[in-house]
Every structure is written in C-alpha cells, then in structure tokens.
Amino acid sequence: MDYHEQKNHQDQLIEEKPKKSKFRRFFFVFLILAIIIGAAGAFVYKTGFTFSQISIDFSNSGGKLPVEQPFQSKDPDRLNILLLGYRGADDPNGGMLTDSMMLVSLKKSTGQVALISIPRDLYVTIPGTQIKEKINFAHAYGEEKQPNGGGIAYSKAIVSEVTGLYIDYAVSINHQAFKEIVDTVGGVDIYLDKPFVENKQFTNEMILNLPAGPNHLDGTTALFYVRSRYTTSDFDRMRRQQQVLAAVKDKVLSLGFLVNPVKIFGLLDILGRNVRTDMGMNEMQDTIRLASSADTQHLTKRVFDTTPEGLLYSTTASNGAYILLPVSGDYSQMREVCKNIFN
C-alpha cells in the first residue's frame, strides 16, 4: 500500500469513528427516552387502574346514595375528607366496625390543615333509622345494607350530623393496608415525651415497650401503637393515630420516596387492594393538588374526649355498654368547634 492509499485509509477510519460515536450517542439517548416514556406510560396506567379499583360506584342503585348527609351546605373554602380505619372484612369479630374516624379538614385560602378525631364510643342514632348505637357501627351497618360503599355513605352522614360540616369525600382503609403502607414508606419516626408500655392488647404478652425520645416504627409496631388503649385510653389512642398519620405524611412527601418508582408502584398496589373512596379520578387529582400546597408542617389537632374541654361525658347504655354523650345534650358545641377550627 503506497502513501496515498494509506492516507485515504486513515482518513476513512477517522470519518467512521465520529459517525459510530454519534450513532452510539443517539442510540443511548433514544434508549433512555424509551425507558422514561415506557415508565411514565406504565405509571399512568397503574395509577388509572388503582383509581378504578378503589373508587366505589353507586350506579347499581341508580346513582342514589343509601342515605344523605343532613348538612348539604358546603363551605367553598373548606375541603373535608373523612378517614375511616377498620380491622377488615375477614375479621368475624366486628371487623367492619371503624376503630378510627378522623376528619381531615383543609382551608383552601390559607393552606391550613386540621385533624379532628371522632371517638368510636360516641352514642348516636344511625342515619335513616331508629337504631341507637355507637358511631363506629355506622360503617358496618352501611356495608350490610349496601356492600362496597354503603359504609362510607352512612359514616359520612353521621359525621356530618355530629360536626355540622358537609363531608366532601371519605376514604376507608383496613389494618392490613395501614401496616403495609408504613413498611412501604420505610417505617415512621415518632417522638415520645415519656416511655410507652402496652402489655394487655391482644394477648397477655408484652407487645410494646417504647422508650422516651425518638422511635422508629415498622408497620407491625405502628399498627399496635395506634390500636393500643388498655394501658391508656381511647382518647390517647386517637392522639397516637394523629401522630402516626402526620409521620406517614412526612415520609410520603419526602423526596426519597417521591423519586422511587418501586415504592410508588408498591403503594399503589396496597391502595388498590385495601382502600375504598367515593372520590373519582378528577376529584383525587384536585385533592392531591390542594394537599401539595397545604401547610402540613403545622397541623391543628382536636380530639373530642371527657376532659373539661372535650365536650363529652361517659355513661352506660341500657345494655350496660360504655358510651359517650355530648355534655350539652346535643351536638351544638361540637359543631361550633369544627366550624371555627381554624380561628
């Protein structure tokens, strides 16, 4: 090969290298874009599928709710969402009774958020009936009358009557979901002013022995913590539920969780299996948008209890059951508190 042939061959190699290099860069960019688009498409599909699983549908009853809320006047500056926690349909011993009933109220103009806990032993008349029962029975009664949605409708109706507020939406979640959600977000961190010991919950064995100071709880421990009441009270349990809910919120909104698609997909799976709500997809998107701009670092918390400021007193029903009743003889004081919770 003479000089000119060698020169032409070298020039050809020099030209091919940039072409191959450009092709590789294009290929990798294309591959990354394809992965991103595919993941986004999968996420959209997964999210839509999850919403279709958790949304209840009253179309079988002609779109008519089994019972209506007594307060239909809606404050345009408030969004009220009722959270219902129950053991689960597979529990034969009152698994559909709501162990926790918490109203999350958001003031749109200021971003303020309030957590209002309703005690499960509050003695009420089940809406649309003459049945006198504890308020936690409303969900079980509604599910018996109209499965897959009736519990939410009856719970919204009675909580609206007690609080004097229009309840926009409700979300029901069983204990299995709560435990799995806490594990999915990597556990929750709480701070205790004093040690917490619970030795008489479901067995006679020691279940919880948490020291004062910071504590990291996994799903199982967190569930025991929010259900514990024998060594304290049902009112303290409601405060613990508010504490853990705020801790879960902190974890879900953390950057580490929001950029982890595996955890997000896992959370969607849990929600699809164990959560029900009367929110549609558009309502969910609007709620998420409002929540993202809310001041979740400064939560207002209220528990109705038997303290002088709690507005309730304890007594027994005709069957000897422990119940709670309003000190005023009606719900007027409780309604006033809920109405002015942000003042």
CA 241 to chain centre: 11
Could you say which of 34, 54, 74 is where a domain stops? 54
Asked if residue 5 and residue 132 are part of one domain, the reply reads no
Of the candidates 57, 71, 83, 81, the one whose C-alpha atom is nearest the C-alpha of residue 290 is 81
pTM greater than 0.85 (yes/no): no
Residue-wise pLDDT tens digits, 230-262:
777 778 888 888 898 888 888 877 756 666 767
**Residue 269: CATH number of its domain:** 3.40.630.190
**Minimal CA–CA distance to 189: which of 258, 262, 113, 243?**
243
Lookup: tokens for 206: 């020691």
Three-class secondary structure of residue 94 per DSSP: coil
Q: Are 208 and 196 in contact (CB under 8 A)?
A: yes
Domain extent at residue 197: 59-339
- Residue 144 has a pLDDT of 92
pLDDT tens digits for 272-330? 777 888 987 788 778 878 877 788 778 899 999 999 899 999 999 999 999 999 999 99
For every one of its 343 residues, what pLDDT tens digit does the chain have, with 9 covering 90 and above?
555 555 555 555 455 555 555 545 544 444 444 433 344 344 444 455 566 667 787 655 555 778 999 998 999 999 999 999 898 888 878 889 998 899 999 999 999 999 999 999 999 999 999 999 999 999 999 999 998 889 999 999 999 999 999 999 998 988 888 888 899 888 999 999 999 988 765 555 547 889 999 999 999 899 888 888 777 777 888 888 889 888 888 887 775 666 676 777 677 777 777 788 898 778 877 887 887 778 877 889 999 999 989 999 999 999 999 999 999 999 999 999 999 999 9
The rounded distance, in Å, linking the Cα atoms of 246 and 251 is 9
Number of domains comprising the chain: 2
Q: Which of 38, 54, 70 is the last residue of a domain?
A: 54
Which tokens sit at 4? 């000119």
Same domain, 167 and 138: yes
State residue 129's pLDDT score.
95
Checking DSSP bridges between strand 312-316 and strand 78-86, what pairing results, if any? unpaired
What span, in angstroms and rounded, lies between the C-alpha atoms of 94 and 144? 12
Please check whether residues 9 and 66 belong to one and the same domain: no
